[in-house]
Structure 1
Amino acid sequence: MALGVAVLMVVACADEAATGTPAETPAQGNGEVTRTATPTATAAPGGESTGGQTTPRTLGTSAGTPTTAKDPAFVALDGASAHFGQIDRAAYRIEMPDAWNGELVLYAHGFAGFGTEVSVESPPRALRQYLVTNGYAWAASSYSENGYVPGIGADDTLALKRHFVEEFGEPERTYIAGASMGGNVVALALENQATEYDGGLTLCGALGGIEQIDYLASWVAVAEYTSGLTFPIGEPGANLAPVFLTELPRILGAPDAPTERGRQFASVMNLLTGGPRPFFVEGFREQYIVNFGLVMIDPERKLLVNRAATNADTVYEIGEGLGMTAAELNAGVRRYASDAAARNAETHPDAVPTTGRISVPLLTLHNTGDLFVPISMEQSYRAKVEAAGRGDLLVQRAIRAGGHCKFSEPELTAAFADLVAWVKDGTKPKGEDLTGDLMNAGLEFTNPLRAGDPGGVE
């Protein structure tokens, strides 16, 4: 289990590092500091009134794990004041510009492992600086629990908004932004708490909801089938670390030097996650072992998200000339059935696929070579939004880079500025169609083009 936690923490740390958030030293100075210990503003079921405000139903499911909050103290940027404290079990940070423009950005962080200490993650450095410089206040919650908990993230982010209003007054406009699992938080919030936000921004967002965990189940199932191994998943006390760290690499080879079986695995995952595109290889290399982390920590599939996940209806494809047909693959791959009690929209709204029923503008950025939260999540969400009749509210942009949440300062700040113009003035920004061939995706929005970019393809 320790190895599984370590592998998953690689992803958690990568989320923070990739979005450019520096490790901040706790501090008591550099601006006004407020500490509060107020009851949580958890949303009430059925839209009941709590404290004079009508709130949507609770979206999160607590695992019941006791947690402690890491000290959220931080140093404010020049021209701003730092405010921090705790709401129930969730720590928070608020950075208030001296010349506040009356608008607020709620930032939802990504997956942070399964530890019992929760901590606040500030927005990416470039975005944070842009917000403060341009007069936007921002606020971020640690969430009251770790794990894959987008519903808890949405609930605690809404509670933080309520606290902000009590302290500083109602913002003229409120935006919600999130990275990785935080993108799932944003989708849940916009679909279920529509009156609370004026617009949303996702960065490498897990927009599919539980489809993100379905994808990780597929990663495991396809690796098992192509390798010819039998993983002891579901067996009490199973230790999967030797399988994933020793046996599997021996059979599949390294990402850069695959065996025939390794080429089969890579081909299936390429086609499952969006097809041929720039920087797939770099992203595949980064996630090759890391994507087994969830099943390593939970080999018996007892966690809610694992019980809810399924690949029962997933149709896999494979390239030609690799010694295996799609028919053979689909007939032979292990299928994981979901627990109907877990994958239940009424009792666990954060353990089901998202709906696409948004009612305010949403702009998304996604790396072409992200193999932790693949760009196919964008394709899936586009289909849902279109089916819900809300297609005009979604703008998507690809960024040509390998890895998870790898965005430059110009890419981040342009996206936020364009979202604001859309919300305030109705100026819908440019986006692109990510549903087809992705070889030329992101050429207009990647700034700068990364080293090794193949350029446009005729």
Structure 2
Amino acid sequence: MMQQDLGIEPRGRGRIRAGKLALALCGALAGLTANAATTKPGDAPGLVDVSGEAAPKPAPCPSDLPDTVTCLSGQDSAGAYYMIAKPRDWNGVLVMHAHGGPTLGDPKLARAQADLKRWAVWPRNGYAVAMSSYHQGGVEVHAAAQDTERLRRIFLRDVGKPRLTILHGQSWGGNVGAIAAELYGTERDGGKPAYDGVLLTSGVLAGGTRAYDFRIDLRVVYQALCHNHPLPSEPQYPLWMGLPPDSTLTKEELAKRVDQCLGVDHPRAERTAAQQQRLDTLTRVIGIQEDKVVSHLNWATWHFQDIVQHRTDGKNPFGNIGVRYTGSPDDAKLNAEVARYRPDPQAVAKLRADTDPTGKITLPELTMHAANDPTAFVEMEHTYHDIVAKAGRSEHLVQVFTSDHEHSYLTDADYLAAMGALLDWVEHGHKPNPQSVAQRCQAGAPYDPPSECTFLPDYHPAALETRSPARGG
């Protein structure tokens, strides 16, 4: 989603093993040269022509992967870097991974390398996997979906034809995956859709016009309490802007300001009474954890700046008209002091067109979300359920939940059970339910490396409005 996922170490990893350079495909890949792809970034989605793409080259595998896995890397004509991993005992299933974040700045191979390391669960268990860094930094969902599709076709051309292809979207990549499933789920590719099934984990599935509401709330409540983002001595700007285009504020400086106001970098015993009261107020009103305040503020600063400056033509897509903030010692005072903003209709329309799912899904789709996700609220699953139901496609959607308090990675056991249930649905028409997925997970134990099942088969998320209030125009 939402915060950048790069560099967070997951739980449940096995012992580290040395990776090797992949040599098996050298001869087959040697003769191809790079040319521009026929489909340019931003074009209407369709069948992507990769005939002019450079072939991937052998690359070192992350240390988490066994020596029996072959890794490849490359950069496509749009500028996206990518990594591919294929086990020697490939089960014929290709997992196309859409990563979260999104990362700001220019694309880097390190992004795809880090994702392959984190999602080593797939090649360790027989799946081939491919992941793109995306060619653009920032919040651009359709472009990321197209980069993922371009990589899928490179895999087909240069690596092999999978028996099945599963689209896996994680975090903000869940938004990318949901959109990609709508764009390419009905595209014909040799008589079949581009993808056979969709797995969305910890997904930002409410769409940009709802998923980011709580972050504009965070900005206005934080400023009412702390008055230091911006400082009174700095040029003032509307908080929906994130930052002015010429701002030189760094993440380190913002973290220092947050600590000065809230004491988040200090144990509770070392905070002043005023710091603790402000921190308690902020976390109660916004509904976030103490240790996530800085990361959410980062998103509501630099990612908001990206959205406004690069996606909505400098216009405001965020608003809080009609929102009543509760949970402070004096709600009347707080609501009188917070800044109020009315979104620009054109900006909202542009954000909606790029980020909001329509729910018109045609493929088997399974979502998995931690009930206590501190970053992408689980209540967004309720919104997505309603979007799909309104589109009349509920028969294509199954949602399962876990007891984790994590966002970036849950457990190997849960991922493998979810994937197995999705494949059974795709191949045999056995549509799963939360109970059957939980049972499948328990039946697969013991896992190597050891990993626990954390499914909550009877859990149902509340409406997003209980966490992030609805707002007027």
- Using the size of structure 1 for normalisation, the TM-score is 0.72
The match for 1:163 is 154
Partner of 1:205: helix, strand, or coil? coil
Higher strand share: 1
Whether 1:245 and 2:243 are equivalent positions in the alignment is no
Give yes or no for contact 1:84–1:92 (8 Å, CA) kept in 2. Answer: yes
> CA 1:45/1:113 → structure 2, altered by over 3 Å: closer, same or farther?
closer
The alpha carbon displacement at 1:293 in A equals 1.3
The match for 2:100 is 110
The match for 2:271 is none
Aligned mates of 1:113, 1:45 — CA distance in 2: 22
- The residue type equivalent to 1:142 in the other structure is S
Aligned mates of 1:361, 1:393 — CA distance in 2: 5
User: Equivalent residues in 2 for 1:179-258 (5 A)?
Assistant: 179-195=170-186, 196-210=194-208, 211-227=210-226, 231=230, 232-234=236-238, 237=246, 244-254=254-264, 257=268
Give yes or no for contact 2:75–2:82 (8 Å, CA) kept in 1. Answer: yes
> CA 1:390/1:10 → structure 2, altered by over 3 Å: closer, same or farther?
closer
Among 259, 262, 287, the residue aligned to 2:276: 259
Aligned mates of 1:212, 1:161 — CA distance in 2: 28
| Cα deviation digits, residues 292-316 of structure 1 (max 9, x gap) | 1144437865242785641335745
Whether 1:143 and 2:145 are equivalent positions in the alignment is no
Aligned mates of 2:392, 2:16 — CA distance in 1: 42
Give yes or no for contact 1:26–1:72 (8 Å, CA) kept in 2. Answer: no
- The residue type equivalent to 1:180 in the other structure is S
Whether 1:98 and 2:102 are equivalent positions in the alignment is no
Give yes or no for contact 1:108–1:177 (8 Å, CA) kept in 2. Answer: yes
The match for 2:25 is 32
Among 329, 336, 347, the residue aligned to 1:323: 329
Partner of 1:289: helix, strand, or coil? helix
| Cα deviation digits, residues 339-381 of structure 1 (max 9, x gap) | 4444335x9832x422222121222222333332222222221
- The residue type equivalent to 1:151 in the other structure is H
The alpha carbon displacement at 1:337 in A equals 3.9
In structure 1, stretches of 5+ residues that fail to align are 1-7, 54-69, 271-279, 433-442, 451-458
- The residue type equivalent to 2:416 in the other structure is T
User: Equivalent residues in 2 for 1:420-435 (5 A)?
Assistant: 420-431=423-434
Give yes or no for contact 1:366–1:398 (8 Å, CA) kept in 2. Answer: yes
The match for 2:377 is 374
Among 283, 293, 297, the residue aligned to 2:298: 293
Aligned mates of 2:201, 2:282 — CA distance in 1: 27
Aligned mates of 2:141, 2:16 — CA distance in 1: 23
Partner of 2:199: helix, strand, or coil? strand
Aligned mates of 1:20, 1:101 — CA distance in 2: 21
The alpha carbon displacement at 1:268 in A equals 2.0
Aligned mates of 2:37, 2:162 — CA distance in 1: 20
> CA 1:402/1:425 → structure 2, altered by over 3 Å: closer, same or farther?
same
Among 66, 72, 78, the residue aligned to 1:83: 72
Among 341, 344, 353, the residue aligned to 1:349: 353
The alpha carbon displacement at 1:90 in A equals 1.6
Whether 1:386 and 2:389 are equivalent positions in the alignment is yes
The alpha carbon displacement at 1:12 in A equals 3.6
Aligned mates of 1:376, 1:226 — CA distance in 2: 27
The match for 2:415 is 412
Among 134, 139, 152, the residue aligned to 2:143: 152
- The residue type equivalent to 1:218 in the other structure is D
| Cα deviation digits, residues 191-215 of structure 1 (max 9, x gap) | 2222221211122211223133333
The alpha carbon displacement at 1:245 in A equals 3.4
Partner of 1:85: helix, strand, or coil? strand
- The residue type equivalent to 1:349 in the other structure is A
Give yes or no for contact 1:268–1:318 (8 Å, CA) kept in 2. Answer: yes
| Cα deviation digits, residues 207-264 of structure 1 (max 9, x gap) | 2231333332222123223446674444675566698435544444549746333322
- The residue type equivalent to 1:133 in the other structure is N
> CA 1:143/1:106 → structure 2, altered by over 3 Å: closer, same or farther?
same
> CA 1:9/1:180 → structure 2, altered by over 3 Å: closer, same or farther?
closer
> CA 1:263/1:41 → structure 2, altered by over 3 Å: closer, same or farther?
farther
Partner of 2:177: helix, strand, or coil? helix
Partner of 2:165: helix, strand, or coil? strand
> CA 1:16/1:209 → structure 2, altered by over 3 Å: closer, same or farther?
farther
The alpha carbon displacement at 1:414 in A equals 1.1
> CA 1:448/1:137 → structure 2, altered by over 3 Å: closer, same or farther?
closer
The match for 1:175 is 166
Give yes or no for contact 2:87–2:128 (8 Å, CA) kept in 1. Answer: yes
The match for 2:190 is none
Give yes or no for contact 1:150–1:185 (8 Å, CA) kept in 2. Answer: yes
Partner of 1:144: helix, strand, or coil? coil
> CA 1:317/1:113 → structure 2, altered by over 3 Å: closer, same or farther?
same
Aligned mates of 2:324, 2:383 — CA distance in 1: 15
Aligned mates of 1:405, 1:52 — CA distance in 2: 32
Aligned mates of 1:378, 1:207 — CA distance in 2: 6
The alpha carbon displacement at 1:186 in A equals 0.3
Among 308, 313, 319, the residue aligned to 1:311: 319
* Overall identity of the aligned pairs, in %: 26
The alpha carbon displacement at 1:177 in A equals 0.4
Instruction: Provide the aligned C-alpha RMSD in A.
Output: 4.2
- The residue type equivalent to 2:212 in the other structure is I
Among 437, 452, 455, the residue aligned to 1:447: 452
